[in-house]
Structure 1
Amino acid sequence: MSTTRHHINRQRRRQARETRPAAPAGRPQSTPVRTGGRGATTVLTSVGAGPADPPAAGDEKAAPARSRRPAVLVLLCALTVLLGGFAGWAHAEAEGLRSEPARSNTALTDLARTSEIKGQVAKAVDRLFSYDHADPGALDKAARDLLTGKAADQHRDLLADVRARADEQKAVITTTVTESAVERLDGDRARVLVYADQSSVATTGKKAATDKESKTDGAAAQDEGVYAAAMLAVDVVHRDGRWLVSALDTFGR
């Protein structure tokens, strides 16, 4: 009896395998597994996996973006280093501007003292570079009152030839400061740039003709005037409430 039952069961299993439809492509196949107990029971167990699903379109776009992230990070790091270096350089430059001697220069901050220097230097240059052949002592007095240190020798050398020609031509030299600027002010010392107009009037040594004489005598003496601009740098030092000229620089003249 049992033999007949087993034979029938084998025939049923053979027929079931022959009539079972083939598994679709990409679907996992199953194989029957015999379990304990009388008869046969089948369970599905995967024996192979189908092809993987194609990646989504969003994943394809995300992959290049992820590959670009390291390059962007490297660029940001480079920019950070560059900006850090620039910040260090700017800090060093600022410290240099605040350090000596720039910090001690108060020409732009002490306006009252700057104005005082400009006024006294303008008057000093007017006197030191003006000369009247009829009153040579005025120039000597100006040199004694306004010069100190090496400026006395510099002034004497600069005016030696001028005085000689003025005496010969009986000339009058007039110097008028038109503009000045305090380049540096450090305590009791300063340097001033001076611009001035100069005129030199020479005579023949005769009296100037009157209006009547000029009409009747064409041989009357006439004055000749020469005009020029001058520029020089003046170093001054504060002593006894006054600014004295301590050095003269005519820029190679």
Structure 2
Amino acid sequence: MTDQEPRRPRRWPLPLALVLLVLAGSCLLVLGDRAEAQAEANRALTDGQTTAEVVGDVGNALGRIFSYTPADTAATAKAADALLDGPAAAQYRSLFAQVKQQVADQKLTLTTRVVRAGVTELSGEQAKLLVFLDQTSQREGKAASTAAAQLSVTARRTGGHWRITELKAR
């Protein structure tokens, strides 16, 4: 029979575990700092007053530019000139030029109401929103119908008010 010496415990698992814990902790600290920096840059959840202001201005603007009657499309076009900038203004002018004739021919009235709006990003003078709308259309002599719509909106503060700079149907 052979004598077996008792096995010595290995000493490397404990130092390895400590090194791994230190590395994991360091990674978590770095990720936490990044998340904190992003949260500070995006004031959507921390600046209630500005967030409410953006939602109010953008909601009112959408209600005005997406509501019209056959008798007064000029008021809608004028509102768009005052409330839209950049790509949103160009996109709207192109779309409204096509719709304008149909509105008169079909005697179509459209009323748009913001159901819910939320600011997803707010930094500096720019905001991004997700907006849910109800649009009620009615042709003369026919029953009204309502449809839901969803938009991604980018707005920029100009002259103390938020103007829409980008619109995207979702």
User: TM over 0.5: same fold?
Assistant: yes
CA RMSD between the two structures: 1.9
1:95 to 26, 33, 41: 33
**In structure 1, the residue corresponding to 2:35 is in which secondary structure?**
helix
Q: Distance in 1 between matches of 2:48 and 2:27?
A: 32
Gapped regions of structure 2 (runs ≥ 5): none
In 1, the alpha carbon distance for the partners of 2:132 and 2:126 equals 20
Q: Which residue of 1 aligns with 2:45?
A: 108
Q: CA deviation at 1:85?
A: 2.0
Shift of 1:226: 2.3
Letter aligned with residue 196 of structure 1: L
Q: Of 88, 110, 135, which aligns to 1:151? A: 88
Asked if the contact 1:131/1:163 (under 8 Å) is kept, the reply is no
Cα 1:132–1:77 shift into 2, 3 Å: same
Aligned to 2:125: 188
1:68 & 1:173 partners in 2: Cα distance?
84
Counterpart-to-counterpart distance in 2, 1:138 and 1:68: 89
1:245 and 1:110 map into 2 onto residues whose CA distance is 20
Deviations 1:127-167 (A, max 9, x none): 01111111111111111211122221111223333333322
Aligned counterpart in structure 2 of residue 199 of structure 1, from 136, 144, 166:
136
Q: Is 1:247 matched with 2:130?
A: no
TM-score by length of 2: 0.88
| Structure (1 or 2) with the larger CA radius of gyration | 1
Aligned partner of 2:73: which letter? P
Scaled by the length of structure 1, the TM-score of the pair is 0.61
Of 60, 70, 78, 1:123 maps to 60
For residues 231-246 of structure 1, the aligned pairs below 5 Å read 231-246=150-165
Q: Which has the higher contact order (CA 8 A, sep 6+)?
A: 2
Aligned pair count reads 167
